[in-house]
Amino acid sequence: MLEEYSRFIDSGTLRELKRLVGELKNVRILHINSTKKGGGVAEILSRMVPLMEELGIETRWEVIKGNTEFFKVTKKIHNLLHMPGGESLNHDDVIVYMKQTFENTNLIDTDRYDVVFVHDPQPLGLIIKKLKGQKWVWRCHIDISTPDEEVWKFLETFVNSYDGSIFHIPEFVREGVKIPAFIIPPSIDPLHDKNVDLEEDFVKNTLERFGIDPSRPIVLQVSRFDRLKDPFGVISAYRMVRKRHDCQLVLAGSFADDDPEGEEVYREVLNMKGNDPDIFVLNLPPDSHREINALQRSATVVVQKSIREGFGLVVSEAMWKFKPVVGSNIGGIRRQIINGITGYLVNSVEGTAFRIKQLLMNPDSRELMGKNAHERVRHSFLITRHIKDYLMVIYNLLRNS
């Protein structure tokens, strides 16, 4: 299996990976998050866990349980960690969070593992189950550089009970984090249905199925229906572009099990689209990997106009398909796009519209940036590098003890 990646990566990386696997053969690993489908964390785990298993390292994945009330609280925590504003956590929220955390301690067996990775704040409290001798790592996928202080104060005690933490970029590490912090950006899997080469017919049929005209330019954003992804800003930018340039806008999205706000945002997006026949709002099942792949491949310009973003896996996915991405100058997007080389970083709706126009008018620069973009992902954001980084963290934590 690992050999299949040799066409994308150099032999040195493969050798290092095999060596690390050899060192960690008997380690049992558990990942815990809050949804099996929808969003970047589930996307990464669905690829990483089976690949680690194939490499011969016992790796399991568990998902916490929660009702709507619980996920409303965790979404509030998510939003407030990304950005202060609005009502902070109240007493009732804390009770809902803790009650569900205790319930999950009974539902998930963590005792038989040597290393437990807990992803994001939803399952964070499970650290109360940690046994002596185990290593627990908090894997944070969120931009927590300027959080609501109340929320952070609540989570901080849990975080500092872990043995280590992982953030996407150094800017996300908070001063209050007293445990070792590792910097590991996420990755995409080039062998996943989401990213493999597709037959032209499939791409064409997919566009036809959605009523999109393959002969006209397509501007695309792929994202869960979430305010922080700013689908409204994308529509505004598109409307500015559309005054002078023919193009269609595709907003492809889905709902995630742990996000109760999705439907409301979806309705608002439909409302803003109105009866514009050139805006396509696609609500897709969460496992529409080949369809998303086809949309990304057929896009002329890909946009990611998030207001806050941990990483934004969709940026790397599009770049892998030789697309220049116009992305917000924030969080992990900034780490992926090299401004003017692999795409453009933007700070406003006007800036987004300007760069979209520029790319629509310049096929040569689209092609050149697309090639650079692909190379950037090949070099820095593939799953093989990601697994190697995880194994290094495990090696480091176990060795230090």
Quick check: 284 binds ligand UDP (CB under 6 A)?
yes
Q: Which residues pair with 40 in a beta bridge?
A: none
Question: Minimum CB separation from ligand UDP for residue 401, in Å?
Answer: 32
Cβ(126)–Cβ(110) under 8 Å?
A: yes
Quick check: 66 binds ligand UDP (CB under 6 A)?
no
Site string for ligand UDP, 246-275 (x = CB under 6 A): ------xxx---------------------
Quick check: 164 binds ligand UDP (CB under 6 A)?
no
Tell me the two tokens of residue 89: 């956590």
- Alpha-carbon gap, residue 158 to 152, rounded angstroms: 10
Binding segment toward ligand UDP, per CB under 6 A, in 37-45, 65-73, 177-185, 373-381: 37-45
Tell me the two tokens of residue 382: 């593939």
> What are the CA-CA distances from residue 311 to residues 329, 346, 366 (Å)?
12, 16, 23
Cβ(290)–Cβ(202) under 8 Å?
A: yes
| Location of structure tokens 């930018």 | 237
Helix ranges (H only) for 24-67 are 40-54
Pick from 31, 224, 321, 376 the residue near ligand UDP by CB under 6 A: 224
Pick from 20, 21, 222, 302 the residue near ligand UDP by CB under 6 A: 222
Which residues fall within 8 angstroms of residue 22, CB to CB, at 6 or more apart?
A: none
Site for ligand UDP in 313-332 (CB under 6 A): 313-314, 317
> What is the rounded (10 degree) CA torsion for 232, 301, 46, 64?
-10
Question: Minimum CB separation from ligand UDP for residue 313, in Å?
Answer: 3
Question: Minimum CB separation from ligand UDP for residue 61, in Å?
Answer: 16
* Nearer Cβ to ligand UDP (21/250): 250
Pick from 311, 322, 381, 390 the residue near ligand UDP by CB under 6 A: 311
Question: Minimum CB separation from ligand UDP for residue 27, in Å?
Answer: 27
| Location of structure tokens 């040799």 | 6
Tell me the site size for ligand UDP, rule CB under 6 A: 18
Which residue lies nearest ligand UDP, judged by its C-beta?
Answer: 40
- Alpha-carbon gap, residue 52 to 48, rounded angstroms: 6
Residues within the interface to ligand UDP (CB under 6 A): 39-40, 43, 194, 222-224, 252-254, 284, 288, 292, 311-314, 317
